[in-house]
Amino acid sequence: MPRMKPIVTSKWNPAVRVELEQLFASTVITDARRFERDAARARLNRPKYDALIKPLGSIPWWFVACVHCLEASFSFEKHLHNGDPLSERTVNEPRFRPLTGKPPYTWWESARDALTMPGKQFHLETDWSIARALWLLEGFNGHGYRLYRGIHSPYLWAGTNHYTKGKYIADGKYDENAVSKQAGVAGLLHLLLSPEQLSQGRES
Give the total number of structural domains in the chain: 1
| Residue 7, domain member (yes or no) | no
What are the strands, taking DSSP E only, across 46-200? 167-170, 173-175
| Residue 3, domain member (yes or no) | no
Mean pLDDT by 10 residues, the chain (204 residues): 82 97 96 93 98 94 98 98 98 96 97 97 96 97 95 97 93 91 95 76 43
pLDDT reported for residue 202: 45
| 88: Cβ contacts below 8 Å, ≥ 6 apart | 103, 104
d(CA 85, CA 76): 9
pLDDT reported for residue 123: 96
| Residue 36, domain member (yes or no) | yes
pLDDT reported for residue 204: 35
| Residue 41, domain member (yes or no) | yes
For residue 59, CA distances in Å to 38, 62, 95, 122 come to 20, 9, 23, 7
70 near 188, Cβ under 8 Å? no
| Residue 170, domain member (yes or no) | yes
| Residue 191, domain member (yes or no) | yes
Range of the structural domain that residue 152 is part of: 14-203
pLDDT reported for residue 203: 38
| Residue 106, domain member (yes or no) | yes
10 near 143, Cβ under 8 Å? yes
d(CA 109, CA 199): 34
pLDDT reported for residue 194: 73
d(CA 171, CA 163): 20
| Residue 62, domain member (yes or no) | yes
Helices then strands, each counted (H, E), the chain: 9, 2
